[in-house]
């Protein structure tokens, strides 16, 4: 349990020093002794100890002096004071200065053993907390939003403004622009940062299962509900719930979500009682929800509940000056993850990346760099490591000139969308789910668009 723990015993009484040394060595500890403050200071400055057991009064100083040495060395050594001068003042002073505990002479050795064991448990807990905090910092660093362009500075300002408020936020933007990163940044900078951040893609889960995922269910609520299930709203208690692709919610679920936001309580599927919740809702969409409201596909009252504050994200094409920063960030990230030593990118390869359109936005650039890092043979990314889609003109392009007679915008948009869908289907051999992923939209959204444009009539593709 504590066989390798290191203890420094400091006492000017030789008999006490030897007694404690023999006892703790028998207990399996690694023990060092010192007879005064000077020699103990040398030990602390040259080595690390888990526990310091020190006499309060010594010829050349006191145990409080050693507490200061521990702090100056930046160690997390747990300190226990022993003294024959059992005054309340000295005990309070030692505890205020950072001592873990205080023992008076004469003492029972079992008492000292128990205190040392508890002190080591405290140190282990402190070490684990430091490790977890370090991991959390690393995770936050890896999901940093990269950008110095003016448009991104506005996004950072938006995040700063809303983070410490309790309002619901709607993050809008095309697929791949980093909507979840923004949601996480809002959570991480808020007073809920110690609570959970729970994310769900509303378009990725079948409608009949999504209600149970969000609100939970009770045993027997439906076939297959063999136990009670906690929903994501309860899981996100005291934290934030990120509802991605909120525009994919059915009308029925929109009504239930509206009630949850208004009442701040949920009812599990099949349940009869309400449960209060304390959850901040951050939602995201790649649709124009105001148009969905006008078309009657999204509830107006829910839209205004979710959109107390909107943060619109730009596409990567709107901030090309951020591309070199993103490229370097992704090179560093994937070099570490893939165990490569890619240091830079060659100028012609970067130039090609700078002039690409990025229909998939930052997510597409990230995928491009991950592939390039994996394929690169040297310590830099060459042009040959980039995918063919960047090296040749795009097959799908649509342009027009507006004549005096005018044009039909709806027809042009439909034709362009039809061309993109057909191209995606060709590139994936007719597999709709892969085509949807290629276009950065949900399968449900792809199927809706595909059927709306009449492309399913002669469709022999697999879904």
Q: So what's the pLDDT on residue 199?
A: 95
pLDDT at 64: 87
Please report which residue ranges of 264-404 form alpha helices under DSSP H: 289-294, 300-306, 323-338, 347-354, 361-375, 388-391
> Sign of the CA dihedral 354, 359, 362, 364?
negative
Inter-residue contact 222 to 211 (CB < 8 Å) = no
Two tokens, residue 1: 């349990």
- CATH level 3 topology of 151-314: Rossmann fold (3.40.50)
User: Do the beta carbons of residue 2 and residue 117 sit within 8 Å?
Assistant: yes
Closest C-alpha to 337, from 142, 201, 186, 200: 142
**260, 219 Cβ separation under 8 angstroms:** no
Q: Compute how many other C-beta atoms are within 10 angstroms of the C-beta atom of residue 33.
A: 18
Question: Fold for domain 409-452?
Answer: Arc Repressor Mutant, subunit A (1.10.10)
pLDDT for 462 equals 42
CATH number of 317-391: 1.10.8.60
The vertex-47 CA angle with 45 and 13, nearest 5°, equals 80
- Pairing between β-strand 280-285 and β-strand 197-201 as defined by DSSP bridges: unpaired
Are the beta carbons of 273 and 267 closer than 8 angstroms? Answer: yes
| Tens-digit pLDDT profile for residues 128-167 | 776 666 555 545 544 468 889 999 999 999 999 999 898 9
Share of the chain above pLDDT 70, in %: 89
pLDDT at 3: 46
The two structure tokens encoding residue 111: 């008492």
Instruction: State the Cα angle at 171 between 170 and 177, rounded to 5°.
Output: 170
For residue 87, what are the CA distances in angstroms to 37, 58, 400, 450?
21, 16, 91, 83
What are the sequence ranges of the domains in the chain? 6-136, 151-314, 317-391, 409-452
288 CB-near residues (< 8 Å, 6+ apart): 172
Whole-prediction pTM:
0.58
Element containing residue 153 per DSSP (H, E): helix 150-163
Q: Report residue 197 as tokens.
A: 């951040």
**Tokens matching residue 367:** 């995928």
At residue 63, the pLDDT reads: 84
CB 306 within 8 A of CB 170: yes
Strand, helix or coil for residue 314: coil
> How far apart (Å, rounded) are the C-alpha atoms in residues 63 and 82?
9
Cis peptide upstream of residue 106 (ω within 30 degrees of 0) = yes
Whole-number Å distance between alpha carbons of 111 and 100: 14
Domains 317-391 and 409-452 share a fold: no
Q: For residue 38, is it left (φ>0), alpha (ψ between -120 and 50) or beta?
A: alpha
Handedness of CA 160, 163, 169, 170 (dihedral sign): positive
**Residue 461 corresponds to which tokens in the numbers above?**
């593709």
For residue 359 the two structure tokens come to: 């229909």
C-alpha 149/C-alpha 462 separation (Å) is 42
What confidence score (pLDDT) does residue 225 get? Answer: 83
Q: Which residue has the tokens 């490229």?
A: 327
Give pLDDT, residue 392: 62
Question: What is the pLDDT, as a whole number, of residue 142?
Answer: 45
Residue 396's pLDDT is what?
44
Q: Which residues of 137-147 are buried (b: 16+ CB within 10 A; e: fewer)?
A: eeeeeeeebbb
Count Cβ atoms below 10 Å from residue 322 Cβ, excluding itself.
21
Distance CA 130, CA 42 (A): 27
Fold of the 6-136 domain: Rossmann fold (3.40.50)
Distances (CA, A) of 164 to 184, 191, 263, 387, 447: 13, 6, 22, 42, 39
Q: Is 282:242 a contact under the CB 8 Å cutoff? A: yes
Residues of the chain with pLDDT under 70: 1-3, 85-89, 91, 130-144, 392-407, 411, 457-463
């Amino acid at each position: 349990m504590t066989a390798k723990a290191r203890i420094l015993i400091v006492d000017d009484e030789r008999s006490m020093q030897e007694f404690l040394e023999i006892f703790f060595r028998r207990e399996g500890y690694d023990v060092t002794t010192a007879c005064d403050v000077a020699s103990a200071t040398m030990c602390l400055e040259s080595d690390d100890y888990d526990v310091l057991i020190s006499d309060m009064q010594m010829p050349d100083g006191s145990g409080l002096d050693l507490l200061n040495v521990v702090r100056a060395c930046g160690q997390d050594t747990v300190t226990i004071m022993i003294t024959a001068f059992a005054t309340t003042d000295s005990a309070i002073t030692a505890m205020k200065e950072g001592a873990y505990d205080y023992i008076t002479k004469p003492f029972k050795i079992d008492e000292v053993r128990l205190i040392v064991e508890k002190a080591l448990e405290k140190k282990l807990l402190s070490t684990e907390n430091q490790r977890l905090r370090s991991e959390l910092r690393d995770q936050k660093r890896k999901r940093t939003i990269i950008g110095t362009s003016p448009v991104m500075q506005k996004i950072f300002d938006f995040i700063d403004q809303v983070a410490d408020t309790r309002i619901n936020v709607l993050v809008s933007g095309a697929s791949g622009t980093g909507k979840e990163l923004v949601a996480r940044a809002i959570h991480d900078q808020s007073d809920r940062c110690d609570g959970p951040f729970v994310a769900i893609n509303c378009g990725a889960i079948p409608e009949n299962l999504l209600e149970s995922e969000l609100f939970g269910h009770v045993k027997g609520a439906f076939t297959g509900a063999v136990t009670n299930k906690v929903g994501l709203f309860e899981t996100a208690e005291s934290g934030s719930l990120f509802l991605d692709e909120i525009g994919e919610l059915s009308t029925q679920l929109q009504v239930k979500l509206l009630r949850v936001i208004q009442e701040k309580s949920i009812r599990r599927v099949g349940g009869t009682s309400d449960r209060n919740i304390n959850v901040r809702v951050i939602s995201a969409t790649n649709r124009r929800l105001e148009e969905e409201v006008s078309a009657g596909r999204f509830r107006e009252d829910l839209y205004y509940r979710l959109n107390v504050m909107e943060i619109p994200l730009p596409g990567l094409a709107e901030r090309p000056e951020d591309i070199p920063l993103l490229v370097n960030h992704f090179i560093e990230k994937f070099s570490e993850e893939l165990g490569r030593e890619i240091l830079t990118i060659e100028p012609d390869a970067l130039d090609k990346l700078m002039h690409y359109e990025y229909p998939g936005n930052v997510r597409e650039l990230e995928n491009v760099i991950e592939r390039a890092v994996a394929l690169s043979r040297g310590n830099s990314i060459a042009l040959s490591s980039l995918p063919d889609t960047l090296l040749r003109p795009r097959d799908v392009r649509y342009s027009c000139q507006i004549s005096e007679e005018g044009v039909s915008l709806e027809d042009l948009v439909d034709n362009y969308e039809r061309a993109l869908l057909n191209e995606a289907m060709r590139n994936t051999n007719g597999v709709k789910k892969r085509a949807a992923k290629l276009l950065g939209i949900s399968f449900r959204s792809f199927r809706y668009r595909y059927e709306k444009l009449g492309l399913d009539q002669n469709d022999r593709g697999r879904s």
